[in-house]
Structure 1
Amino acid sequence: MKINKVNHIGIAVNDIDEAVKLYTEVLGLEVTNIEVVADQNAKTAIIPVGETKIELIQSTSPEGTIAKFIEKKGEGLHHVALEVDDIKGALQTLSDKGIRLIDENPRKGVENTTIAFLHPKGTKILLELVEPGA
């Protein structure tokens, strides 16, 4: 398993429009994609910073995982995403090494990616694996 880079840092926010203003108007960065991920009850804004990105995430439902995260821990760092070339192989390698997986099978992510989350009990932080789309 080879990790290519930190693909993005996910930040949970209550109000994505307000958060976008901070990154664009105050920090001078640019949003390159805003996308609703219906099956995850989330709206995301992607902000490139050098070789990585910031992913702002707002829940679109009170029952969504982001809403529950914010209710429990408040707004802030949600996850770190690591980019891999072969997500299925990476998941198998990690599983073989005893790492607990949230997603045993990859699923569709934003920007035409394939993603899977690792359980924070085994990694001390919520990690996401990302395989870029074609």
Structure 2
Amino acid sequence: MRIDHLGVATENADELADRYSALFGAPVAHEEEFDGLKVVFLDFEGSYFELLEPIEEGTVSRYLDRHGAGIHHAALRTEDIDGALETAREHGVELIDDEPRPGAWGHDVAFLHPKSTGGVLVEYVEH
């Protein structure tokens, strides 16, 4: 596995994308509206910042209300998401998703509960 992206909750994805592009030279690789969010991926040479702007009420809008803008989750790229979930189960990790589900950019995703991962919301991503 390797780091695929860091999910960043924000009130304004376009503004933050412009700032990060100017600061870090990271171009926009992909944009879409998905699951009540405007999602913008910035390319850091094959790893990404995923900027998450809520356009409907949901988990990210609640996160922003409670915590404010900032890192929402860390995503790990795997070639075998089912195997990664089975390994997590074997280690007693509480899963948010028992099975992979469709995610942004057409990838399969599954989340691990932060109670089991040191307070970090972890996402598995299979391209």
TM-score over 0.5 for the pair = yes
Root-mean-square deviation (CA, aligned residues, Å) is: 1.1
Partner of 2:31: 34
Report the Cα offset of residue 51 of structure 1: 3.2
Structure-2-length-normalised TM-score: 0.94
Unpaired stretches in structure 1, ≥5 consecutive residues: none
Report the Cα offset of residue 25 of structure 1: 3.2
Partner of 1:56: 51
| 1:54-93 superposed matches below 5 A | 54-61=49-56, 63-93=57-87
Report the Cα offset of residue 81 of structure 1: 0.3
| 1:1-134 superposed matches below 5 A | 3=1, 5-38=2-35, 41-61=36-56, 63-124=57-118, 125-132=120-127
Alpha-carbon distance in structure 1 between the residues aligned to 2:85 and 2:25: 37
1:34-70, CA deviations, whole angstroms, 9 ceiling, x for partnerless residues? 01113xx211101110231110001111x21111001
SS at 1:91's partner residue? helix
Tell me the amino acid that sits aligned with residue 59 of structure 1.
Answer: P
Number of aligned residues: 126
| Identity %, equivalent residues | 36
Unpaired stretches in structure 2, ≥5 consecutive residues: none
Report the Cα offset of residue 99 of structure 1: 0.2
Report the Cα offset of residue 16 of structure 1: 1.0
Alpha-carbon distance in structure 2 between the residues aligned to 1:26 and 1:84: 29
Tell me the amino acid that sits aligned with residue 47 of structure 1.
Answer: L
SS at 2:77's partner residue? strand
Alpha-carbon distance in structure 1 between the residues aligned to 2:25 and 2:82: 37
